[in-house]
Structures are given as structure tokens and as C-alpha cells.
Amino acid sequence: MHGKGEDSKYDFTDRVIAATGQTAHPRLKQIMPRLLCHLHDFAREVDLTVEEWMAGVEMINEAGRMSTDKRNETQLICDILGLESLVNEITSELLLRADGGNHATTPSTILGPFYRANAPVLANGSSIISASAQNSTWYHKAVPLRAHISGHVLSASTHKAISNAVVDVWVAGPDGLYEQQDPEQPDMNLRGRFRTDENGRYEMYALRPTAYPIPFDGPAGRLLKLLDRHPYRPAHIHFVVTADGHRALTTQVFDCEDKYTTDDAVFAAKEELLVQFKERKDDDKAKWELTYNFLLYPD
Ligand code: MBD
Ligand code: FE
């Protein structure tokens, strides 16, 4: 019943499953036996040794020790294994089915390990580049990347614009580092929350993103190296868009000119989320521009 080793007298699997299936918690009762079945089968199938299992335990412990409210290394491990993208697709699929598939919405993709809550609330038309960042050593690299980004937040049922929606945005700097990874950036640099105006429109100055290697200073990066996999993510901007009466949308847009759009190290890029930055004329605050609308699911 449980694959390799099933005839061994050391077949704990049935006993563990039986003990676990006693729970009154309905979801755990449903999923724990299946988890244990796969987990035990996996260990048997690959003849997992104590040393290998302990290396995995150490990896998770190290990820936990590294993780803070600014950096979630355990999540990053899940990302390189495709697990955050997989559960994101499963969840979207469930929501779509519940809705009967009636509304075309902006596709979601993963949140990733660098989201920070409580980004500065900024006025429409302002910049997520902190004023004090203009004294930073990297600022000259940011100047040619400055981008004007604007659009509407729309309800997918009516296609009406939604006022008072919140667009929470974050992007890596020109060296491919998020603010919390980079001592050269001020706190909360390149993050902001914008509220749509009475016409449902948001407007900001940000950066055109660049391709960037996921961080290598922890177990996720080490694992990638051991697997001979590249660490690059296509150039992307993160958004979480929320509005009353609608489901929150977690997504990213990807620069269509990036060479990693079909080879994302964390499997989050999607064709439907590719965007094209256009050259912006007559604006000394930005060389690039992007117009992008978000279509939210009604509750
Ligand atoms: C990132 O910048 C990111 O967005 C994700 C999902 C994983 C690693 C680095
Ligand atoms: Fe990112």
C-alpha cells in the first residue's frame, strides 16, 4: 500500500496515519493522512538516510533563524521548489470555480519573501524613490530607470473604476536589491501605497525593473547552486491591490523585454503579466512609462 518497504515490519506509516486520523479537526483529518503517505513514500522511495534527513532539518532551521519580518528565507526555499507558485495556482483555480469563471481578472502570482507591511502611504503622482535616496551611491544608476506608472483599478464584474482602492507596490533597486537587503537604501525605499482617486486612477513614479538574482546568502541560494540552477528572476514589479467589496489581488508585472520571462527561478512569471515599458516624452522625472489596469474579483 505504501510503496517500497511495504512489507517491512518497520512499516510505521499505517500506525502514524491511524494515530493522526483521530483528530476532530476536519481539514487536518483530510490532509494529514495524505501528507504522511507521500512523505513516507518519498523517504522509502529514495532510501533517505539519517544524514540526509538531518541535512534537511538543518536547512530548515537555518532558514528559520535567517527569517525576519523583512526576509522570509523559508518562503524563498518554497519559491525555488515551485511550491508558492503551485499553491497560488491552486487557490486561484478554487476561486475561479467558486465564481463560475464569469469574470476575467488580472492573474495573480506569488507574494514572494520581500513583502513588507506598512509601506509609506504616498499621494498620487509622487515617487516611491525616497527623497533621501538621492544622496545614495546607486542613485545615478536609478535615474535612467525612472518610470511613470499609472492606470485604473477596475471591478471585473462591471468594469467600473474603483475609487479608494489601495495599490501597494515594491520593486528592487538598480543593483537588484530590495531596500531591506541593501544598507545603501533608506528604510522603505522603493515601496509605497497609493489610493485610487475618485476616478479609480492611481499614478506613481517608480523604477523600470531589472533582472535580478534571488539572494544567495542562505540555504535557498546554496541549494540552487548544488542543483546547478541559475538564480535569476525576470525584471518585475510587485503589487498587492485591495478594494472594498473585492478580493485582494497579489501580482507582479514582468518586463516583456527581459530574457528570463520564460525561465523564472521561482516559476512566477506568466505571459498574461508581461508589460511593455514605453519611452516617456517631456518628463524630466521619468524616461519610461507604463499604463497598467488592475481588474479585481468582486466578493
Ligand atoms: C524575489 O524578488 C521575488 O519576488 C520572489 C518571489 C522570490 C525571490 C525574490
Ligand atoms: Fe521580487
Rounded CA separation 143/173 (Å): 11
Dump pLDDT digits (tens) for 76-101: 999 999 999 999 999 999 988 887 76
* C-alpha 205 chain-centroid distance: 21
**Which distant-in-sequence residues (6+ apart) come within 8 Å of 103 by Cβ?**
156, 157, 295, 297, 298
Per the rule left: phi > 0, alpha: psi between -120 and 50, beta: everything else, 55 is alpha
Ligand 1 pocket residues where CB is under 6 Å: 76, 79, 110, 112-114, 214, 233, 266, 268
ipTM of the complex: 0.98
Question: How far, in Å, from the CA of 36 to the mean position of ligand 2?
Answer: 32
Domains in the chain, please, with CATH?
A: 1-48 (no CATH), 80-296 (2.60.130.10)
Dump pLDDT digits (tens) for 150-204: 999 999 988 999 999 999 999 999 999 999 999 999 999 999 999 999 999 999 9
Dump pLDDT digits (tens) for 5-30: 455 666 789 999 999 988 999 999 99
CA-proximal residue: ligand 1, atom 8 (nearest): 214
DSSP string across 149-186 = EEEEEEETTT--B-TT-EEEEE---TTS--GGG-TTS-
